[in-house]
Structure 1
Amino acid sequence: MRYHGRINPPLAPTRHHIPVLEIPAMPDHYDALILGAGPAGGGVASRLAKAGLNVAMTDSGPYGGTCPLTGCNPKKVLLGPADLSQMAAHMKGKGIICKPSVNWQELMAFKRTFTEPIPERAFKAYSQEGVTTLTGGGRFTGPDSVEIDGRELTADNIFICTGVRARPLSFPGAEHLIDNAGFLDMDELPEHIVLVGGGYIAMEFAAIAHYCGARVTVLQRSDAILRGFDNELSGLLMQAMRDAGITLLLNAPVQFVDKNGGRLRVCYGEEGNESVIADAVVNCAGRVPNIETLNLEAAGVETGPKGVQVKPTMQSVSNPKVWAVGDVADTPYELTPTAVLEAEVAVANVLDPAANRKADYTGIPTSCFTLPPLAACGLTVAQAAKQGIPHTVITQDLPSKFPWKRLGEQYGRSKVILDANREYILGAHILGHNAEEMINLFAMAIRNRISLDTLHSTYWAYPTCGYYIQYLVKE
């Protein structure tokens, strides 16, 4: 079997090609220079160019960024057949006779119809908007200067939008692991795959691989998965995944990986005394800011554990000429919607510094596309308690309710946090079919402070999952 990707993959995947264009002589100075051509960088570049600024953008890899190329979008494509497979398994004995099988090669070819056109399309689109599109990684040479492919450029505003990358692992044999990009571009599905980690990526890949036909083992070094979500719901998800046949081990840190014939032996546990033989091992142990080659010291840009330290305006705390937007910024979320939000905020402040617009993360929804999916928005119970906010918690089991019962769902739960007077929603957490869609309605309610009276006065389509929101917010 052939796998693509390494622990630190090449910045320009061979399947993506950036067109070679005749680029006219360029000025050495720009109103704005953007490092990174993903959703964050693209959001900044397009808006500033449309406002009439002289804008340049560069990327060391293909234009498009992680989400459309090696993250959100290809993951969702691969999840489609997995979702069908899970639904068929739940309906066995209820009208479905056999579980569908997945042709991984055909699925991968379908996925590439989404990813392969993006780099060239994005490159041309930005050029047509008036953005000077460059290729190559940027390296700061001063507070307002960046070297790109041997040429030094200066700008009034420099935007760091370089995203995040797979966290390097230091145990012996880590070089044998592939990362998220490698998993999402495998030509064949391994017979047995080991996922190292217990966050979004590990849980989502576990669902995809299992329901597409692989044997899956998840090794999580700590005692819980998906720590950013409600503990009760993430624990129920873990139970659902185990019940489906996924081996999910906690307190199982990997000590080393070595070759075992044509396969890989993964030794784990505190002493490394436990082992499992796999055909592929994937690094799902989190992401780190992609800033190691930027020479931020030359620009006096301060960083924290999660990336470039910024003000609520998205301006660097230590260099007013430098901004950071998206996953690379030390902000609460690493999500495409927040990258768009932060791009809007940064652009507004560049165009009108007196506006002093600040990023408002109220009601930002997030979903883990597991099977069943897990989604959240607003405060958790623990956060409400820690902040001393009087509140009421309403918990409902979903498998007994029609939209989930008709699908044979066995695991599902909602948990909604209301203010003490039961007038507004403070937080919502859902595990179960369609959770990733339902959470958007809760996000709208939380961000816009829509009252429960308004929700109850709304007439919802029946019978749908959304119809049951009115019941999830009352006992």
Structure 2
Amino acid sequence: MYTHDVIVLGGGPAGGGVAAILARAGKNVAMTESVAYGGVCPLRGCNPKKVLLSGAEAVHMAKGLAGKGVRGALAVDWAELMEFKRSFSDPVPESARKAYADMGIDVRLGEASFTGPETVSVNGETLSAPHICICVGQTPNTLDAPGCEDLPVSDDFLELEALPRRVVFIGGGFIAFEFAHVARQAGAEVVLLNRSDRVLRKFDPVLADELVKASVADGIDVRMEHPIHRVEKTGKGYVVHCGEGGGDRVEADMVFNCTGRRPALDGLELEAAGVEFSRHGVTVDEGMRSVSNPSVFALGDVADQGAALTPVATIQSQVAAANILEPGSATVNYSGVPNVCYTVPPLAGVGLLETEAAALGLDFEVKETNLADSFPWQRLGEKAGRARVLVSEKEDRILGAHLLGHNCEEVVNLFALIIRQEIPLSKVRDTVWAYPTCGYYLKYMV
């Protein structure tokens, strides 16, 4: 006999999204969370990161306007900024838990693991349901090199009481670049070590290279093809041995492992439920249902499809809820999902990359625009800004849009709307935009 209609493992955006929909539909829902309700994004990811970025953006803008009517040096007070960050993140766990409880959801705090195809154990109690949703997200990768076993990770950076003078970030993805920019604008000496000759592989490679140049211009020491051989803890901090043969030495007060994240599957005992998985996550179909156990769904970062982004978790939770209420009624549409790397300046993209469009044999051209030479960027003293937009005259549509520069995290939303809703290129060109805004210059990008 089932104790609930649905059990949701994880109280983040994916778990909260599916649980809320099903509870409102009258289902008896239990939700478990092992750390704190709210999930990575509002507690240890997107939101606190952007609060810290506020200080970096202000310092960067003041630098850009120096000698253009703005005087005086602006500096980040790390302790005050961290306190400001906590004003957003600290209330979330109890607020989220209460919100779900008020919906009638049976909220529990504790580690959950499967004991059978339709049963889980939480704090020694067995719960059962015909539908179980795995929404436990991801956990930081480990770094396979001597001395790297216990290096601080992104969670630790977001809780720093004081910013070290010399900081090393290991990695070449979102997390490494975003935190490197925050730390640099806050006054730290920053080194970013990347093992290969490419960074930010989900983004347009031309613009990723431009961001590297902008990072270096801002004083970040970006070292490509610098794999980590070992990290030595000393009485004064760390020594990172890296590069070819480990011959380079980088001394730092703190070193952060920012080499990405992996699905948090450890301890779930998925084998007991007959749930197939890989290093990419739980194997699911286009309706977010496990391919090996029809009673189980996986949503958000723990699933083996879709980008590890909060908006993706949201649409996946909607699809899973629809399929629980009416089996086979919904599939996920990943078209027009934008990516943003919140550096200074930010890097953004949506739709197809140039290599992807070429592999599909599509007829297109890449329209390039130097945004740094355009008024909305010039007025702020911005030195980096570029757009690369894939347009198909033959099909009358925009295939992809890739942007680097001030406010591109907002402009990319316009392109996301255009691509997801399949707005014809001719209609975009006929649109009237407010002047003089960053969005106005979209007319020149297409």
Q: After TM superposition, is the score higher than 0.5? A: yes
Tell me which residue corresponds to 1:190: 164
Partner residue in 1 for 2:37: 63
CA distance in 1, matches of 2:431, 2:144: 54
Q: Name the stretch that deviates more: 169-178 or 385-394.
A: 169-178
Whether the aligned pair in 1 keeps the contact of 2:228 and 2:242 (CA below 8 Å) is: yes
Cα offsets for 1:380-426 (capped at 9, x unmatched): 11100011111111011111111111111111110100114262111
Aligned to 1:459, what secondary structure does the other structure show?
coil
Q: Structure 2: which amino acid aligns with 1:163?
A: G
CA distance in 1, matches of 2:73, 2:433: 33
CA RMSD of aligned residues (A): 1.1
Alignment of 1:265-284 (within 5 A): 265-284=239-258
Corresponding residue number in structure 2 for 1:14: none
**Residue of 110, 113, 130 corresponding to 1:139:** 113
Aligned with 2:4 (options 27, 30, 33): 30
Among 358, 362, 366, the alignment partner of 2:335 is 362
Instruction: Write the deviation string for residues 14-37 of structure 1: whole angstroms up to 9, x where unpaired.
Output: xxxxxxxxxxxxx96211000000
Supply the AA of the counterpart residue of 1:432: G
SS in 2 for 1:53: coil
**How many residues end up aligned between the 2 structures?**
446
CA contact (8 A) 1:35 1:59 kept: yes
Offset at residue 260 of structure 1 (A):
2.0
Q: How far 1:169 sits from its partner (Å)?
A: 1.4
Pairs within 5 Å for 1:34-433: 34-355=8-329, 357-421=330-394, 423-433=396-406
Query: TM-score when scaled to structure 1?
Result: 0.92
Alpha-carbon distance, 1:255 to partner: 1.1
TM-score, normalisation: structure 2: 0.98
Task: Name which of 392, 412, 436 aligns with 1:439.
Answer: 412
The separation in 2 between residues aligned to 1:446 and 1:33, in whole angstroms, is 35
Structure 1 position 342, deviation (Å): 0.1
Give the gaps of 5 or more residues in structure 1. 1-26
* 2:306–2:312 CA contact under 8 A, matched in 1: no
**Amino acid in structure 2 at the alignment position of 1:434:** N
CA contact (8 A) 1:28 1:152 kept: no
Shift of 1:269: 1.5
Which one is further off, 209-218 or 449-458? 449-458
Q: Look up the equivalent residue of 2:7 and give its one-letter code.
A: L
The answer as to whether partners of 1:203 and 1:370 remain within 8 angstroms in 2 is yes
Contact 1:327 1:339 in 2 (8 A): yes
Q: Aligned partners of 1:313, 1:360: CA distance in 2, in Å?
A: 10
Counterpart secondary structure, 2:76: coil
CA distance in 2, matches of 1:354, 1:272: 53
How far apart, in 1, do the equivalents of 2:294 and 2:125 lie?
23
Equivalent pairs: percent with the same residue? 48
Does residue 1:448 correspond to 2:418, yes or no?
Answer: no
Secondary structure class of the residue paired with 2:175? helix
Confirm or deny: 8 A CA contact 1:35 1:137 kept in the other structure: no
Deviations 1:155-197 (A, max 9, x none): 1100000000100112111144111110011000010110000
